[in-house]
Structure 1
Amino acid sequence: MITLIAAAAENNALGKDNQLVWHLPNDFKRFKALTTGHYIVMGRKTFESFPKPLPQRTHVIITRQADYTYEGCLVVHSLEEALTVCPKDQVTYIIGGAEIYHQAMRWADTIELTRVHATFEADAFFPEIPEEEWELIATESHPADDKHAVSYTYCTYRRK
């Protein structure tokens, strides 16, 4: 099973200059809870936005750079190749960036989207979720508070 996991603003903004444009600690906790113990597939720039590899996850990094390596991570050169190195009997999480999300939409079974209730200037955007292909099966809303400057909703979509 392939799951896209992302946080995107109302205008589908993901980030700017390879950084998130909001800070939602509870979303980070949810991301960790869902992805720990699984393969996570990402583009090289997304991987390089982390201070270090995320613990207790197998990193699959997609890059066009033929000689790119990173100790302890699997490096591949296409999304198709990435999916062949991931186990078929467990959930594989696609964690970005924008280009990888767009490519992966056709293979995804589930989307775990944190909808950030604001709009942001961005240079990376999550793809549109076509209503004719996807069903929203669960939501969980959270108001802004002292640790979260904006409200947000966890949305789970399943392919119809």
Structure 2
Amino acid sequence: MIIMIAAVAENSALGKDNNLLWHLPSDFKRFKEITSGHHIIMGRKTFESFPKPLPNRTHIVISRQKDYLPEGCIVVENLEKAIAICPKNEDSFIIGGGQIYLESIPLADELDITRVHHSFEADVYFPEIDSEIWELTSEIFNPKDDKHLYEYTFQKYTRKK
């Protein structure tokens, strides 16, 4: 199954200047639990926003740069090749950035969204989640606390049949 996973603000903001706009430790922990042991697909800029490759995951980086070869990663030139590399009988995760999300939303089976209940100034946005195509199947609300400056909700969408 192809699953898009993202933390998205109320105004669909994802990031600015290749950085996240918020810090939600519970979301980072959940992301690690869900994606560990799986293939993760991302654009070059998303990969470069990490201090180092994420442990226990197979990184597939999409880049048009022919000489781009980060250590420990599989590099392909488009989304179709990235998906083709992933095992068909396992979940694979698309983790960003904005252009990769836009290209992959027609191909995804599920959306795993952390909805951050705030609006932010951004330069990268998540595509519209069309209610004619996607059904919200679960929600878990999380209040703000001493470690989380914003309320947020874990949302799961599945593609309507």
Normalising by the residue count of structure 2, what TM-score does the alignment of the two structures yield? Answer: 0.99
- How much has 1:72 moved relative to structure 2? 1.3
Partner of 2:13: 13
CA distance in 1, matches of 2:135, 2:84: 27
CA distance in 1, matches of 2:139, 2:65: 39
Q: May I ask how many residue pairs the two structures share in their alignment?
A: 160
Normalising by the residue count of structure 1, what TM-score does the alignment of the two structures yield? Answer: 0.99
Partner of 2:126: 126
Superposed, which structure 2 residues align to 1:73-84 within 5 Å?
73-84=73-84
Superposed, which structure 2 residues align to 1:1-160 within 5 Å?
1-160=1-160
CA distance in 2, matches of 1:149, 1:103: 31
CA distance in 2, matches of 1:71, 1:15: 25
SS in 2 for 1:150: coil
Query: Unpaired segments of 5 or more residues in structure 1?
Result: none
- How much has 1:139 moved relative to structure 2? 0.3
CA distance in 1, matches of 2:30, 2:74: 24
The one-letter code of the counterpart of 2:122 is A
SS in 2 for 1:26: helix
CA-based RMSD:
0.4
The one-letter code of the counterpart of 1:58 is T
The one-letter code of the counterpart of 2:59 is H
| Superposed CA offset, 1:24-68 (max 9, x none) | 000000000000000000000000000000000000000010111
Query: Unpaired segments of 5 or more residues in structure 2?
Result: none
Aligned sequence identity (%): 60
The one-letter code of the counterpart of 1:76 is V
CA distance in 1, matches of 2:64, 2:3: 23
The structure 1 segments of at least 4 consecutive aligned residues displaced by more than 6 Å after TM superposition are none
CA distance in 2, matches of 1:92, 1:103: 15
CA distance in 1, matches of 2:140, 2:156: 9
CA distance in 2, matches of 1:18, 1:71: 20
